Amino acid sequence: MKTETAQTPVKIYPPKPDKVYFYGTCLIDLFYPDAGMAGIQLLEREGIEVIFPEGQTCCGQPAYSSGYHDQARSVAASQLNLFPEAWPIVVPSGSCGGMMRQHYPDLFADTPQSSQANAIAARTWELTDFLLHVCHIQLKDLGEPTTVAMHTSCSARREMGVAEVGPQLLSQLANVTLVEQARAAECCGFGGTFAIRHPEISAAMVSDKADSLVDTGATRFVTTDCGCLMNIHGHAEQSHKPIQGEHILSFLWQRTGEAHS
């Protein structure tokens, strides 16, 4: 019997557009607005007009990953009409981006919104991936020499396929040394509602992740997802581990933005 192996779809990047929709995510909105603003500023500096639909709320991922697909569909359905034009939708999160790009087609299969959900999924891009491969961004480092480690979320790595994007962007910064952690591909233990439903397991996982980052010798790490950032940074702070976190978009803007001009 021939065994078929699932193949990761090849990404077909669009031409650089004049406009994009910016889907901010709940955690950006509530806890890390600086990362959202940094993403918008990076896009605008590339000559792209950023449209922020004011009616956006949750993408539905927490309910979906917990098995409540009807409730997830109800939440996600309110997002479908926010992006009427054919512009790309950029998301500063592999988790929310993965939900929209990978799971909306299944979530809305055999519903009247199926075609609309499929079209939105095809236009959804994780923001750092979009900056590197669509905008072809070139970064000029204006900051002082520093060393950082990086954590890429499970969704960004496995659903959005952007594990190499962050390191490639950081490699453009002449005064930044990126050190690799031993547990680079391992989960931090957040996993949305996983951390709530399995707190003991989650706590052990984030402790291992924080130790792995500390062991690099860096005192600072960057990540593409606010959930991981909140989890790892919060644990490190509570446990007095010598590592602090930041969203990669905030880090990139601080190193290259007009504050240094």
CB distance 101 to 77 below 8 Å: no
Cα 242–chain centre separation: 24
Section 56-84 average pLDDT: 96
The confidence band for 258, taking pLDDT boundaries of 50, 70 and 90, is low
Q: What is 146-260's CATH number, 3.30.230, 3.30.1150, 3.40.720, 3.40.50?
A: 3.40.50
Q: What is the pTM of this model?
A: 0.93
Fold of 19-133: Rossmann fold (3.40.50)
Domains 19-133 and 146-260 in one fold: yes
* pLDDT, tens only, 218-255: 999 999 999 999 999 999 999 999 999 999 999 999 99
For position 11, what pLDDT does the model report?
A: 84
Beta-carbon-side half-sphere exposure of residue 147 (alpha carbons within 13 Å): 11
Instruction: List all residues 6 or more positions away from 185 whose beta carbon is below 8 Å from its beta carbon.
Output: 157, 163
Instruction: Give the pLDDT of residue 182.
Output: 94
- 179-217 pLDDT, tens digit per residue, is 999 989 999 999 878 887 888 999 999 999 999 999 999
Please tell me the distance from the alpha carbon of residue 145 to that of residue 173, in angstroms, as a whole number.
Answer: 10
Q: Break the chain into its structural domains and give their ranges.
A: 19-133, 146-260
Mark out the alpha helices in 123-175 (DSSP H runs). 127-133, 154, 165-171
Which DSSP symbol is given to 245?
A: E
Do 43 and 131 form a contact (C-beta atoms < 8 A)? yes
Helix (H, G, I), strand (E, B) or coil at 7: coil
Task: Indicate the SS3 state at residue 187.
Answer: coil
